[in-house]
Amino acid sequence: MSITVAVDAMGGDVGLKVTVPASIQFLSQHSDVNLILVGDAVAIEAMLKASNAPLERIRVQHAAEVVGMDEAPQLALKNKKDSSMRVAINQVKDGAAQAAVSAGNTGALMATARFVLKTLPGIDRPAIAKMMPNMKGTSCVLDLGANVDCTPEQLLQFGIMGAELVAALGLKANPSVGLLNIGSEDIKGNQTAKLAGELLKDSGLNYYGNVEGNDIYKGTVDVVVTDGFTGNVALKTSEGLAHMIAAFLREEFTRSWWTRLCALAAMPVLKRFKARTDSRRYNGASLLGLRGIVVKSHGGTDALGFRFALEQAYEEARSDVIGHIADRVARHIDNLKRPDTVETH
């Protein structure tokens, strides 16, 4: 079965010059993929003609508008019905594509995706999920910023969706789920975390219990559940720290001709280290909980990074993540509603 991915070709800080080359490279790596490139048709076609792209597997879909990176989500939703972002998501809704990828404005993408595709039955609000590297491999962390305040029930939904994503991608059969908190004892944390912990414990998921910030990178669990405020701070703090450490390393190796010589000697090792910690390899966050696959690429990434976001969308479509999540959520809703836990007074 072939997979069709709709690409918001205009999204991101750079737009076409990143998305089109990434799309062409991506096609060359997967013979079972077709792409719909959405945006300024004239510009896209000009770029395709100048390339050696497999044109038989590309369809260009014109969209006259572009959502600005700082545009208010609700205004974009209301006023830009012919934006490349929206038209790309429409392809998923209409069944023309199995997934949409955009490097555009996160808020607008979330609002548009939610409006166009709707959430799955049993899911209150979609979450932003990302596979993040750790000492043992990768783990799924969610929510990374879509939902500032979360109810315990929403945190349970995140746990279910994250576990299903990890399982569907074939990374783990029965993924362990941890709740991000500030202490390993159940008594710690705020009220929402306490109640969410109880729900997760009774959920039938492979629930580990509370985890702390350092557990994200230790790889203690396969899925880290958190509200969007805390998750976003953890993600951005990580980006900032990684950037600082890289800058310090560069500074030390370029301090003098002597340290530059040291760097030269260590170059093969430093290159491997750099490749291993390259954030572009982990680009592509999933908007989970929708009735279709939508992947958000980092707005400032390059063609390599964007290609990894396409890869994420492809893997999710191939493994039918949405079907798996829908099934599991349906099962869990029944669990949560079983008679002996319903208060009847």
Report the nearest approach of a second copy to the CB of residue 262 (Å): 4
Interface residue with a second copy among 151, 238, 279, 319 (CB under 8 A) is 238
From 79-87, 108-116, 128-136, 280-288, give the range in contact with a second copy by CB under 8 A.
Answer: 128-136
Q: Which is nearer to a second copy, 1 or 135 (CB)?
A: 135
- Specify the DSSP class assigned to residue 343: -
Residue 225 in the binding site for a second copy (CB under 8 A): no
Interface residue with a second copy among 213, 278, 299, 319 (CB under 8 A) is 213
Cα-atom radius of gyration of the chain, to the nearest Å? 21
Report the nearest approach of a second copy to the CB of residue 239 (Å): 5
Q: How do the residues of the chain divide into helix, strand and coil, expressed in percent and rounded to 5?
A: 50, 15, 30
From 111-119, 123-131, 248-256, 304-312, give the range in contact with a second copy by CB under 8 A.
Answer: 248-256
Q: Which is nearer to a second copy, 114 or 324 (CB)?
A: 114
Residue 316 in the binding site for a second copy (CB under 8 A): no
Residue 323 in the binding site for a second copy (CB under 8 A): no
- Using CB atoms within 10 Å of the CB of residue 222, give its burial: 0 to 12 exposed, 13 to 18 middle, 19+ buried: buried
Q: Which helix (H) or strand (E) holds 329?
A: helix 321-336
Cβ–Cβ < 8 Å for 140, 224: yes
Residue 223 in the binding site for a second copy (CB under 8 A): no
SS3 246: helix
* Residue 54: CB atoms within 10 Å: 15
Q: Which is nearer to a second copy, 122 or 145 (CB)?
A: 145
From 74-82, 259-267, 292-300, 331-339, give the range in contact with a second copy by CB under 8 A.
Answer: 259-267
Q: CA–CA separation, 157 vs 235, rounded Å?
A: 20
Cβ–Cβ < 8 Å for 344, 194: no
Cβ–Cβ < 8 Å for 160, 177: no
- DSSP characters over 52-115: T--GGGEEEEE--B---TT--HHHHHHH-TTBHHHHHHHHHHTTS-SEEEE-S-HHHHHHHHHH
From 144-152, 197-205, 282-290, 304-312, give the range in contact with a second copy by CB under 8 A.
Answer: 144-152
Q: Which is nearer to a second copy, 257 or 338 (CB)?
A: 257
From 13-21, 109-117, 273-281, 333-341, give the range in contact with a second copy by CB under 8 A.
Answer: 273-281
Interface residue with a second copy among 133, 138, 171, 206 (CB under 8 A) is 133
Please, which of residues 158-197 interact with a second copy by CB under 8 A? 180, 182, 188-191
* In the block, residue with structure tokens 């074939």: 170
Q: Does a cis peptide bond (omega within 30 degrees of 0) precede residue 94?
A: no
Report the nearest approach of a second copy to the CB of residue 314 (Å): 27
Q: Which is nearer to a second copy, 242 or 330 (CB)?
A: 242
Residue 263 in the binding site for a second copy (CB under 8 A): yes
For 143, 213, 224, the CA distances from 235, given in Å and listed in that order, are 10, 10, 12
Q: Which is nearer to a second copy, 170 or 240 (CB)?
A: 240
Interface residue with a second copy among 262, 300, 334, 335 (CB under 8 A) is 262
Q: What sign results for the dihedral spanned by CA atoms 272, 276, 278, 281?
A: positive
Residue 209 in the binding site for a second copy (CB under 8 A): no
* Residue 256: CB atoms within 10 Å: 9
Give the footprint of a second copy on this chain (CB under 8 A).
133-135, 145, 148-149, 180, 182, 188-191, 212-218, 226, 228-230, 232-245, 247-249, 252-253, 255, 259, 262-263, 265-270, 272-273, 276-277
